[in-house]
Homo-oligomer: A and B are copies of this chain.
Amino acid sequence: MIEESTICAISTPPGNGAIAIVRLSGKDALTITDKVFSSRKESISLVEQEANTIHYGTLSDGTEIIDEVLVSIFKSPHSYTGEDLVEISCHGSEYIQQRILQLLIKNGAQHAGPGEFTMRAFLNGKMDLSQAEAVADLIASDAKGSHQLAIRQMRGGFSREIAGLREKLLHFISMIELELDFGEEDVEFADRTELVLLLDEIKELTQSLIDSFQKGNVIKNGVPVAITGKPNVGKSTLLNYLLNEDKAIVSHIAGTTRDVIEDVLTIDEFRFRLIDTAGLRKTKDTIETLGIEKTYEKIDKAYVILYLIDANQPIAEINRLIGKIKKRMDKTDKKLVVLLNKVDFLTEKELAERKLKKNFPQLDKRDHLLCISAKNKYNLKTLYELLPKIIRENGASQPDVIVSNTRHFEALSKAKEALDRAVTGLDTGMSSDFLAQDIREVLHYLGEITGQITNDEVLGNIFKNFCIGK
């Protein structure tokens, strides 16, 4: 249905600028533009012009000249959408942009919905669904980490591999379904040994993609960081240091889930979202109080936990506090950074003791220990460098197989469940019809990622979050 219509939208950011672009895609893109465009040189028809060429002239609404423009033409299937496509580059006045849009609509185009150009690209086979989703991620990317993640996914990423394995699996399911057709005859067209090998291969990829999700999500949406510890331990002093550090790009953004302001630090290629710091920023250290429950909530939401402990306590007491937080963090993938604060009151010997990680046996090798003085900025640079290092060590090393999309994560998790059932079934000699059912489920969920299996509702949900004009 939708391919019947020709859509148009302003594709450049909203507002005034030197240049703006109005985009037009669909079977009438060239003829609609022809109606309102006239080249200065001669009376040309854009339909007759070569693809990938640019033409200078005027856009008119009847006798009224709207603008002098450049028109770029692309022809099906060699365009972003796979359809005939026109880009009108006009003077970037909002008034002119709106006039051109109205002019195109008056001449037969329809206003494009969010992401409709990209949806058409997907429907016309120009990209798979995970690539289409990466286009939106790319536009939203605001740091090197999220940018690289989106670029890789847009250029194919893991989805090509999934599509390849799914293709092989399709071969097996047709063999197994043939067995079912033969009913009672107990034949095996599908080579069970080969099938086990293939299922193992798919399981391995699926598992590594599932494992990469927390890291991918963290790179894409920013790393949630909690600053926690007892009252008066120096949390707000530390926060102020982090927010005032020159190298950090600090911004306050509206949270996505609640209407809270988050402090966002960009260090190197990563964004760190400081959770629930509104209270810390406003209150003085002395009146800074946070109930145990609140503290636990923060820890649950965080990926990195900055846990401040007053260094001027016996090692045994410090260990007791570490024990408490370790217990809470048990079996999670969260990263703990214990910050022994106020070390400027310690003797040299005491400081040396507190620097030794082996004195805190509950900390394992994934945990970090730093002696600092938030007030006198002692060792804070090290903390500042530690944060991106933690992210880099935990996943950025294998960026090609990182999943950052919740929809993909969910589909992979469901595919994994069906895979597990199929593999167990093969071990225990499960009947072909149950096996076929599990494998069909694997095919379904893997197909959802690439968009080989999809429906209008899924597409609607994906593209509604796009900007108009993409």
Contacts and interface: CB of A to CB of B under 8 A. Distances in A.
Interface of A: 9, 11-21, 23, 52-55, 64-68, 70, 72, 74, 87, 89, 91-96, 99, 117, 135, 138-144, 147-148, 151, 154-155, 467-470
A38 to B, nearest CB: 13
Contacts of A143: 95
Contacts of A144: 95
Chain A interface mostly: mixed
Given A11-B17, A16-B467, A147 B93 contact: yes
Contacts of A18: 9, 11-12, 23, 117, 139, 467-470
A33 to B, nearest CB: 15
Given A11-B17, A18-B470, A68-B155, A91 B53 contact: no
Contacts of A89: 21, 87
Nearest to A118: B18
Nearest to A78: B56
Contacts of A91: 135, 138-139
Contacts of A16: 13, 139-140, 467
A52 B39 CA distance: 14
A96 B155 contact: no
Closest 7 CB pairs of A and B: A13-B17, A18-B470, A13-B15, A18-B469, A12-B12, A11-B18, A11-B19
Number of copies: 2
A96 B11 contact: no
Contacts of A17: 11-14, 139, 467, 469-470
A144 B95 CA distance: 8
A120 to B, nearest CB: 13
8 contacts: A9-B18, A12-B92, A14-B15, A15-B15, A67-B138, A87-B89, A91-B139, A93-B140
Given A18-B470, A54-B54, A54-B72, A95 B142 contact: yes
A67 to B, nearest CB: 7
Nearest to A135: B91
A147 B95 contact: yes
A89 B67 CA distance: 20
A9 B18 CA distance: 10
A9 to B, nearest CB: 8
A401 B70 CA distance: 27
Given A67-B151, A68-B154, A154-B68, A93 B139 contact: yes
A14 B15 CA distance: 8
Nearest to A154: B68
Nearest to A151: B65
A148 B66 CA distance: 8
A373 B327 CA distance: 76
A400 to B, nearest CB: 13
Most buried by B among A13, A18, A94, A468: A18
A14 B13 CA distance: 7
B148 A64 contact: yes
Contacts of A11: 17-19, 92
A10 B135 CA distance: 20
A88 to B, nearest CB: 12
Contacts of A467: 16-18, 92
A65 B117 CA distance: 23
Nearest to A73: B54
A151 to B, nearest CB: 5
A128 to B, nearest CB: 15
Given A14-B15, A18-B23, A95-B144, 12 more contacts: A11-B17, A13-B20, A15-B15, A16-B139, A17-B469, A52-B55, A53-B53, A54-B54, A65-B151, A66-B151, A93-B141, A95-B143
